[in-house]
Amino acid sequence: MENSFQTSFIPKKSIVTTSVVRRAPTKLIIIISVGFLVIVLVTVGGLFLYKNYLLKQKAQLSSSLVSVRDYFDKDNISELQLFDKRMSASKQILSTHTVLSPLFSVIGDTTIPAVQYTSFDQQTTDKGFFVTMQGVAIDYKSVALQASVFNSSKGRYFKDVVFSNLSRNSDNYITFDIDFSVDPSLLSYEKDNQLQKSIPANNQNH
Amino acid sequence: MKSFIPILLLVISVGLFFVVVEPLRRSVSDLGGGISAYNLALSNSTFLQKTEDGLLEAYKNIKKEDKDRLEHFLPNTVDNIKFILEVERIANQYGMPIKNIKFESPVSASGQKAQADSAKSGLVISSDPKASLPYGNFSIEFDTEGSYSSFLLFMKDLEHNLRLVNVKKVSFTVPNGKSSGNSSSSLSGDQYSYSLSVETYWLK
């Protein structure tokens, strides 16, 4: 006959089982926490070592940069900068520089023998090159002939040519005023300079 | 007591992480950035060294005479007296005496005059556009006399002088005796009187 009589209310078996279940998580938590601490400590050590390595590298690079900086000679750099500044300023000036000599040459070529200029006044402004002259001609026909020369291909460099104040003077000559502007291409320094250089070369060829 | 130890270890670990690891990580990261900048600067400096060497080589290959010519073309200072003497020397070559020389001091010509004028009038004026240029202008006006052929040669010489000269204004009149027979002028028939305004440049 089965003995189902219970002598005590304390469940002995269950007590043993419970004590095993409680110990396992405690151990695991300890292992995890110790592991976590070890990881943190290793990370601290690693970072500390890496930081020291980087500091040394930075110091090396810094000294390399100092030696490279010493390589650049300040005087040389200043000299090069000044030369560069002078070159670019010269180019800037030459690009807008003009000469008046070709103007006199073209005026000489376009003047007919019956006309003489008695005064010349030239002004350079931001708007261009303006010339005012006074002249004397033998007769009105000569003035008209001179005007036609200005309108021909010979006078292509002269724009807005205006004859004014025509009158006969005491010597029976015709006096007049003339105003015009000058084509800037005639006064180009670069063009004139090239022409000046080509003249000796041509002379040598002949 | 046993359960207290893992909690203590965890607290220490977390504390170490926030107090030591994180600041260390940040400083290491900053250091890494700094080192990258150093490396970039070093590689740039290598490029700059090569560029400087190339430029110096090119500069040394320019003849000294050419460098001197360029310096004479655009000098470091206005040297106005030297410029006037140079114009006079060229004019004398063609027997054309220089008279009535007028010029403004280079400083007042380049902006201070405008500032003084605006201060007097109390007006605010825009700054001189020439002030921003890398070069300055110096103008002189003078009168001279001579034949027309000498004047043409003088003009050519002046315009192709080594120090760049810009002829801004020219005016001359034929003496009365030449055109109308009235010999009231002191100049002989082929001698004209000229007024010129010329300017030169210098590097600021």
Other Cβ atoms within 10 Å of B192 Cβ, number: 22
Distance from CA of A5 to the nearest CA of B (A): 39
Confidence of residue A80 (pLDDT cuts 50, 70, 90): very high
What pLDDT is stored for residue A4 in this prediction?
54
Among B137, B130, B202, B197, smallest CA distance to B167 is for B197
Q: Does B201 touch chain A (CB under 8 A)?
A: yes
Subunit contact A83:B34, Cβ cutoff 8 A: no
Tokens of B141: 């006006």
Confidence at residue A94, expressed as pLDDT on a 0 to 100 scale: 87
Query: For residue A15, what pLDDT band results from cuts at 50, 70 and 90?
Result: low
Strand order in the sheet with B165-173: A158-168, A174-182, A128-137, A115-125, B165-173, B192-203, B135-146, B98-103
Which pLDDT band holds residue A13 (cuts at 50, 70, 90)?
Answer: low
Give the total residue count for chain B. Answer: 204
Residue A187 contacts residue A131 (beta carbons within 8 Å): no
**Model confidence at A9: pLDDT above 90:** no
Contact (Cβ atoms closer than 8 angstroms) between residue A140 and residue A173: no
pLDDT for residue B131: 75
Radius of gyration of chain A (CA): 52
Closest chain A residue to the Cα of B53, Cα to Cα: A72
Digit-coded pLDDT (tens) for A88-114: 999 998 888 888 889 999 999 999 999
Q: Which residue, among B139, B17, B203, has the nearest Cα to A82 in the 3D structure?
A: B203
Q: Mutual orientation of helices B64-73 and A74-96 as an angle, nearest 10°?
A: 60
What does each of the 204 residues of chain B score in pLDDT, given as a tens digit?
Answer: 567 888 888 889 889 899 999 999 999 999 999 999 999 999 998 898 899 899 999 999 999 999 999 998 899 998 888 899 999 999 999 999 999 999 876 654 445 544 444 444 444 455 666 678 889 989 999 999 999 999 999 999 998 888 888 888 999 988 765 544 333 344 456 788 999 999 999 998
Q: Which residue has the tokens 């000229």?
A: B194
d(Cα A145, Cα A154) in Å, to the nearest integer? 13
Query: A105: which 2 tokens?
Result: 């040459």
Give pLDDT, residue B181.
39
Compute and round to an integer the Cα radius of gyration of chain B: 36
How does DSSP assign B144-192, residue by residue?
A: EEE-HHHHHHHHHHHHTSSS-EEEEEEEEE--HHHHHS---SSS-TT-E
Contact assessment for residue A30 and residue B6, using Cβ atoms and an 8 Å cutoff: yes
In this predicted structure, what is the pLDDT of residue B38?
A: 92
Question: What's this model's pTM, rounded to 2 decimal places?
Answer: 0.68
pLDDT(A65) > 60? yes
**Residue contact B169–A97, C-beta within 8 A:** no
- A-B CB pairs within 8 A amount to 166
- Tokens 């070592």 map to which residue? A49
**Chain-wide mean pLDDT for chain A?**
84
Q: How far A148 CA sits from the closest chain B CA (Å)?
A: 23
Q: pLDDT higher for A198 or B31?
A: B31
Residue B152 phi, psi dihedral angles, 5° rounding: -60, -40
- Say how far apart CA A101 and CA A124 lie, in whole Å: 14
For residue B67 the two structure tokens come to 């460098």
Q: Which of A88, A194, A51, A170 minimizes the C-alpha distance to B26?
A: A51
List, as ranges, residues 52-91 from B with C-beta within 8 Å of A: 52, 55-56, 59, 67, 70-71, 73-74
Label residue B122 left, alpha or beta by phi (over 0 means left) and psi (-120 to 50 means alpha): left
What CA–CA distance (Å, rounded) separates A131 from B186? 26
Q: What is the rounded CA–CA span in Å between residue B51 and residue B47?
A: 6
Cβ contacts of B6 on chain A, cutoff 8 Å = 26, 29-30, 32-34
DSSP for residue B62: S
pLDDT at A206 over 50: no
Q: Is B42 on the interface with A (CB under 8 A)?
A: yes
pLDDT digits (tens, 9 = 90+) for A158-183: 999 999 999 998 889 999 999 999 99
Residue B128 has a pLDDT of 65
- A110-137 residue pLDDT tens: 999 999 999 999 988 888 899 999 999 9
| Residue B64 CB partners (closer than 8 Å, separation 6+) | none
Element containing residue A137 per DSSP (H, E): strand A128-137
Q: Confirm whether the ipTM is greater than 0.85.
A: no
Q: What is the pLDDT of residues A141-162, one digit of tens each?
A: 999 999 999 999 989 999 999 9
